[in-house]
Amino acid sequence: MCNLQLKILNKKRIVRGWLFVCLALSALQPAVAENELQHAALGVDFGIWKPSSLDSYPSQPFKNVDGAAPYLGAFFSTPLFHSQALRLSFMQWQQKNLEAVNLSSVTLRHLALDVKYFVLPQYNISPYACFGTAAIWSREQPQNAEGANIPLDRAGWGFDVGAGIDFVLQKSWALALEYQYVYAVFARRVGMTENYSGPKFTLKFMVLF
Q: Does domain 33-208 have CATH number 2.40.160.20?
A: yes
pTM greater than 0.75 (yes/no): yes
Calculate the average pLDDT of the chain: 83
pLDDT value, residue 13:
55
Domain ranges of the chain: 1-30, 33-208
CB contact at 8 A, 97 and 111 = no
Q: Give the SS3 label for residue 106.
A: strand
Average pLDDT over residues 77-89: 91
Residues 126 and 132: their CA atoms lie apart, in Å, by 19
What's the pLDDT at 141? 87
pLDDT, position 3 = 52
8: pLDDT strictly greater than 50: no
Of 16-30, 100-114, 136-150, which one has max mean pLDDT? 100-114
